[in-house]
Amino acid sequence: MNILKRTTLVLFFSCILITPFNPAYAEETIYQYSTIDSLLMGNYDGDLSVSELKNHGDFGIGTFNGLNGEMVFLDNEVYRVESNGKAVAVNDSTCIPFVDALNFKTDSILKLDSVHSLEDLNQKVAEDLPSANLFFAIRIDGRFKTMRTRSVPAQKKPYLPLVEVVKNQSLFKFTEIEGTLIGIKSPVYMKGIGVPGFHWHFITKDRTAGGHVLGCSFKKLTAKVGSYNNLLLQLPTTKAFLDSNFTHDKEKELKKVEKDSIRE
Protein backbone atom coordinates (compact mmCIF):
# COMPACT_ATOMS: atom_id res chain seq x y z
CA MET A 1 0.00 0.00 0.00
CA ASN A 2 1.27 3.47 -0.88
CA ILE A 3 1.29 5.52 2.33
CA LEU A 4 0.84 8.72 0.32
CA LYS A 5 -2.59 7.66 -0.82
CA ARG A 6 -5.39 9.26 1.15
CA THR A 7 -5.74 7.46 4.45
CA THR A 8 -9.00 7.01 6.28
CA LEU A 9 -9.21 5.61 9.78
CA VAL A 10 -12.61 4.44 10.90
CA LEU A 11 -13.23 4.16 14.63
CA PHE A 12 -16.49 2.71 15.88
CA PHE A 13 -17.64 3.28 19.43
CA SER A 14 -20.38 0.69 19.29
CA CYS A 15 -21.07 -2.85 20.37
CA ILE A 16 -20.38 -4.54 17.03
CA LEU A 17 -16.74 -3.79 16.28
CA ILE A 18 -16.46 -6.23 13.39
CA THR A 19 -19.19 -4.59 11.30
CA PRO A 20 -17.67 -2.78 8.28
CA PHE A 21 -18.54 0.86 7.70
CA ASN A 22 -21.84 1.24 5.92
CA PRO A 23 -23.36 4.46 4.55
CA ALA A 24 -26.45 3.59 6.59
CA TYR A 25 -24.47 4.61 9.68
CA ALA A 26 -23.94 8.13 8.34
CA GLU A 27 -26.65 9.59 10.55
CA GLU A 28 -24.80 8.30 13.62
CA THR A 29 -21.33 9.35 12.49
CA ILE A 30 -19.18 12.36 13.24
CA TYR A 31 -16.49 12.96 10.63
CA GLN A 32 -13.17 14.57 11.48
CA TYR A 33 -10.34 15.59 9.18
CA SER A 34 -6.87 15.68 10.79
CA THR A 35 -6.21 16.09 14.53
CA ILE A 36 -6.25 19.03 16.90
CA ASP A 37 -2.62 18.39 17.88
CA SER A 38 -1.64 18.73 14.23
CA LEU A 39 -3.38 22.11 14.07
CA LEU A 40 -1.76 23.21 17.34
CA MET A 41 1.66 22.40 15.84
CA GLY A 42 1.05 24.74 12.91
CA ASN A 43 -0.03 22.30 10.21
CA TYR A 44 -2.41 24.77 8.57
CA ASP A 45 -2.61 23.27 5.08
CA GLY A 46 -4.84 20.29 4.33
CA ASP A 47 -5.92 18.41 1.23
CA LEU A 48 -9.65 18.27 1.97
CA SER A 49 -11.89 20.52 -0.14
CA VAL A 50 -15.20 22.07 0.89
CA SER A 51 -16.82 20.02 -1.88
CA GLU A 52 -15.53 16.80 -0.28
CA LEU A 53 -16.52 18.03 3.17
CA LYS A 54 -20.14 18.33 2.10
CA ASN A 55 -20.18 14.60 1.42
CA HIS A 56 -19.80 14.07 5.17
CA GLY A 57 -22.52 16.29 6.58
CA ASP A 58 -24.31 19.63 6.68
CA PHE A 59 -23.08 21.01 10.03
CA GLY A 60 -19.65 21.52 11.53
CA ILE A 61 -16.74 23.50 12.94
CA GLY A 62 -13.24 24.00 11.60
CA THR A 63 -10.86 26.37 9.84
CA PHE A 64 -9.29 26.92 6.41
CA ASN A 65 -5.86 26.52 4.84
CA GLY A 66 -3.41 29.07 6.11
CA LEU A 67 -5.57 29.30 9.24
CA ASN A 68 -7.58 31.80 7.23
CA GLY A 69 -10.57 32.40 9.50
CA GLU A 70 -13.04 30.39 11.58
CA MET A 71 -15.44 27.99 9.86
CA VAL A 72 -19.17 27.79 10.44
CA PHE A 73 -20.73 24.89 8.52
CA LEU A 74 -24.48 25.29 8.82
CA ASP A 75 -27.43 24.08 6.75
CA ASN A 76 -24.98 22.67 4.18
CA GLU A 77 -23.36 26.07 3.59
CA VAL A 78 -19.76 26.81 4.61
CA TYR A 79 -18.89 30.28 5.90
CA ARG A 80 -15.55 31.84 6.75
CA VAL A 81 -15.45 34.34 9.62
CA GLU A 82 -12.50 36.53 8.69
CA SER A 83 -10.11 38.38 10.99
CA ASN A 84 -12.35 41.48 10.76
CA GLY A 85 -15.29 39.48 12.13
CA LYS A 86 -17.20 39.41 8.85
CA ALA A 87 -18.64 36.13 7.58
CA VAL A 88 -18.52 35.20 3.90
CA ALA A 89 -19.59 32.08 2.02
CA VAL A 90 -16.69 30.10 0.55
CA ASN A 91 -16.51 28.19 -2.72
CA ASP A 92 -16.29 24.42 -3.02
CA SER A 93 -12.61 24.42 -4.02
CA THR A 94 -11.49 25.99 -0.74
CA CYS A 95 -9.29 23.61 1.27
CA ILE A 96 -9.34 22.72 4.95
CA PRO A 97 -6.67 21.61 7.49
CA PHE A 98 -9.04 20.64 10.33
CA VAL A 99 -12.81 20.15 10.70
CA ASP A 100 -15.52 18.23 12.56
CA ALA A 101 -18.70 17.62 10.55
CA LEU A 102 -21.91 15.60 10.71
CA ASN A 103 -25.48 15.39 9.49
CA PHE A 104 -27.34 17.32 12.15
CA LYS A 105 -30.30 15.60 13.77
CA THR A 106 -32.41 16.33 16.81
CA ASP A 107 -32.59 13.52 19.36
CA SER A 108 -33.59 15.73 22.29
CA ILE A 109 -34.56 19.32 23.07
CA LEU A 110 -33.22 21.22 26.06
CA LYS A 111 -34.98 24.36 27.31
CA LEU A 112 -32.51 26.88 28.72
CA ASP A 113 -34.21 29.52 30.86
CA SER A 114 -31.13 31.56 31.66
CA VAL A 115 -27.45 31.25 30.70
CA HIS A 116 -24.93 33.70 32.19
CA SER A 117 -21.67 32.54 30.61
CA LEU A 118 -20.15 29.97 28.28
CA GLU A 119 -19.15 27.88 31.28
CA ASP A 120 -22.74 28.03 32.52
CA LEU A 121 -23.99 26.88 29.10
CA ASN A 122 -21.52 23.98 29.04
CA GLN A 123 -22.58 22.82 32.49
CA LYS A 124 -26.31 22.98 31.76
CA VAL A 125 -26.01 21.11 28.47
CA ALA A 126 -23.67 18.50 29.98
CA GLU A 127 -26.12 17.80 32.80
CA ASP A 128 -28.79 16.91 30.23
CA LEU A 129 -26.65 14.55 28.14
CA PRO A 130 -27.20 10.79 28.60
CA SER A 131 -23.46 10.02 28.61
CA ALA A 132 -20.09 11.77 28.67
CA ASN A 133 -18.64 9.09 26.40
CA LEU A 134 -20.45 9.76 23.11
CA PHE A 135 -20.34 12.68 20.68
CA PHE A 136 -23.04 15.35 20.60
CA ALA A 137 -23.95 18.22 18.29
CA ILE A 138 -25.86 21.22 19.67
CA ARG A 139 -27.71 23.95 17.81
CA ILE A 140 -29.20 27.03 19.50
CA ASP A 141 -31.09 29.59 17.41
CA GLY A 142 -32.39 32.87 18.77
CA ARG A 143 -31.54 36.19 20.33
CA PHE A 144 -28.43 36.39 22.51
CA LYS A 145 -27.96 39.05 25.17
CA THR A 146 -24.19 38.98 24.68
CA MET A 147 -21.81 37.09 22.45
CA ARG A 148 -18.00 37.21 22.42
CA THR A 149 -16.14 35.65 19.50
CA ARG A 150 -12.71 35.62 17.90
CA SER A 151 -10.97 34.97 14.63
CA VAL A 152 -7.36 35.09 13.50
CA PRO A 153 -5.62 36.53 10.43
CA ALA A 154 -4.41 34.28 7.62
CA GLN A 155 -0.88 33.01 8.28
CA LYS A 156 2.21 32.96 6.08
CA LYS A 157 4.94 30.33 6.05
CA PRO A 158 6.88 29.41 8.05
CA TYR A 159 3.81 28.91 10.23
CA LEU A 160 3.91 29.62 13.95
CA PRO A 161 2.23 27.23 16.43
CA LEU A 162 -1.41 28.06 17.14
CA VAL A 163 -0.67 29.15 20.71
CA GLU A 164 1.50 31.94 19.26
CA VAL A 165 -0.96 32.89 16.50
CA VAL A 166 -3.87 33.50 18.88
CA LYS A 167 -1.84 36.08 20.80
CA ASN A 168 -2.85 38.34 17.91
CA GLN A 169 -6.43 37.15 17.63
CA SER A 170 -9.19 39.63 16.85
CA LEU A 171 -11.96 39.79 19.46
CA PHE A 172 -15.57 40.75 18.72
CA LYS A 173 -18.45 41.65 21.03
CA PHE A 174 -22.14 41.54 20.13
CA THR A 175 -25.13 42.59 22.19
CA GLU A 176 -28.78 41.71 21.61
CA ILE A 177 -27.82 39.79 18.49
CA GLU A 178 -29.84 37.17 16.63
CA GLY A 179 -28.03 34.16 15.26
CA THR A 180 -27.10 30.52 15.62
CA LEU A 181 -24.75 28.97 18.14
CA ILE A 182 -23.39 25.61 16.99
CA GLY A 183 -21.39 23.26 19.19
CA ILE A 184 -19.77 19.86 19.25
CA LYS A 185 -19.19 17.98 22.50
CA SER A 186 -16.45 15.34 22.39
CA PRO A 187 -15.43 12.80 25.06
CA VAL A 188 -12.31 13.32 27.19
CA TYR A 189 -10.61 10.34 25.56
CA MET A 190 -10.37 12.40 22.34
CA LYS A 191 -7.40 14.26 23.86
CA GLY A 192 -4.81 14.90 21.16
CA ILE A 193 -7.22 13.92 18.39
CA GLY A 194 -10.14 16.29 18.85
CA VAL A 195 -11.19 19.03 21.27
CA PRO A 196 -12.32 17.28 24.49
CA GLY A 197 -15.44 18.89 25.90
CA PHE A 198 -17.39 21.65 24.16
CA HIS A 199 -16.32 23.58 21.06
CA TRP A 200 -18.63 26.40 19.90
CA HIS A 201 -18.86 28.69 16.87
CA PHE A 202 -21.44 31.41 16.13
CA ILE A 203 -22.92 33.11 13.09
CA THR A 204 -25.45 35.92 12.95
CA LYS A 205 -28.93 35.37 11.54
CA ASP A 206 -28.06 37.30 8.37
CA ARG A 207 -24.83 35.25 8.03
CA THR A 208 -22.58 38.32 8.01
CA ALA A 209 -20.55 37.95 11.24
CA GLY A 210 -19.55 35.44 13.91
CA GLY A 211 -16.51 33.46 15.01
CA HIS A 212 -15.13 31.03 17.56
CA VAL A 213 -17.12 31.54 20.76
CA LEU A 214 -15.37 32.75 23.91
CA GLY A 215 -18.43 33.82 25.91
CA CYS A 216 -22.19 34.29 25.72
CA SER A 217 -25.34 34.95 27.70
CA PHE A 218 -29.04 34.64 26.90
CA LYS A 219 -32.49 33.84 28.27
CA LYS A 220 -35.23 31.42 27.25
CA LEU A 221 -33.69 29.66 24.29
CA THR A 222 -33.94 26.05 23.16
CA ALA A 223 -31.02 23.75 22.36
CA LYS A 224 -31.48 20.98 19.81
CA VAL A 225 -29.16 18.08 20.60
CA GLY A 226 -28.10 15.13 18.46
CA SER A 227 -26.01 12.15 19.60
CA TYR A 228 -23.41 10.26 17.54
CA ASN A 229 -21.74 6.95 18.37
CA ASN A 230 -19.44 6.51 15.35
CA LEU A 231 -16.26 8.45 14.56
CA LEU A 232 -14.75 8.60 11.07
CA LEU A 233 -11.25 10.07 11.27
CA GLN A 234 -9.53 10.97 7.99
CA LEU A 235 -5.82 11.73 8.22
CA PRO A 236 -4.05 14.17 5.88
CA THR A 237 -1.38 12.93 3.50
CA THR A 238 0.46 16.25 3.37
CA LYS A 239 4.21 16.15 3.93
CA ALA A 240 3.88 18.40 6.98
CA PHE A 241 1.50 15.94 8.65
CA LEU A 242 3.49 12.84 7.70
CA ASP A 243 6.71 14.38 9.04
CA SER A 244 5.22 15.69 12.30
CA ASN A 245 6.30 14.43 15.73
CA PHE A 246 3.21 13.91 17.89
CA THR A 247 4.98 12.65 21.02
CA HIS A 248 4.55 15.89 23.00
CA ASP A 249 1.42 16.53 25.09
CA LYS A 250 -0.33 19.70 23.90
CA GLU A 251 -3.18 19.81 26.41
CA LYS A 252 -1.90 23.02 28.04
CA GLU A 253 -1.56 24.71 24.66
CA LEU A 254 -5.14 23.78 23.75
CA LYS A 255 -6.45 25.29 26.99
CA LYS A 256 -4.56 28.50 26.27
CA VAL A 257 -5.94 28.92 22.76
CA GLU A 258 -9.50 28.58 24.10
CA LYS A 259 -9.09 31.69 26.30
CA ASP A 260 -10.19 35.26 25.51
CA SER A 261 -6.56 36.35 25.67
CA ILE A 262 -3.30 34.52 26.33
CA ARG A 263 -1.14 37.59 26.81
CA GLU A 264 0.13 36.63 30.28
The predicted-structure confidence for 193-204, as pLDDT tens digits, reads as follows 999 999 999 999
Q: Which domains does the chain have, with CATH numbers?
A: 25-244 (3.30.1330.80)
Apex 115 CA angle, 111 and 118, nearest 5 = 115
CA–CA separation, 166 and 39 (whole Å): 12
Tell me what pLDDT residue 25 has: 72
Tell me what pLDDT residue 26 has: 82
CA–CA separation, 27 and 24 (whole Å): 7
CA–CA separation, 208 and 137 (whole Å): 23
Tell me what pLDDT residue 13 has: 41
Tell me what pLDDT residue 258 has: 82
Give pLDDT tens digits for 22-75: 555 788 999 999 999 999 999 999 999 999 999 999 999 999 999 999 999 999
How far from 87 is each of 75, 82, 143, CA to CA, in Å?
15, 6, 18
Confidence bin at 1 (pLDDT 50/70/90): very low
For the cut 90, the answer to whether the pLDDT of residue 14 exceeds it is: no
pTM over 0.85: yes
Confidence bin at 260 (pLDDT 50/70/90): low
| Among 25-29, 108-112, 166-170, the range of highest mean pLDDT | 108-112
For the cut 50, the answer to whether the pLDDT of residue 237 exceeds it is: yes
Residue pair 150/132 in contact (Cβ under 8 Å)? The answer is no
For the cut 90, the answer to whether the pLDDT of residue 157 exceeds it is: yes
Tell me what pLDDT residue 167 has: 93
CA–CA separation, 191 and 24 (whole Å): 28
Residue pair 171/260 in contact (Cβ under 8 Å)? The answer is yes
- Mean pLDDT, the chain, integer: 91
For the cut 70, the answer to whether the pLDDT of residue 88 exceeds it is: yes
For the cut 80, the answer to whether the pLDDT of residue 19 exceeds it is: no
Tell me what pLDDT residue 18 has: 36
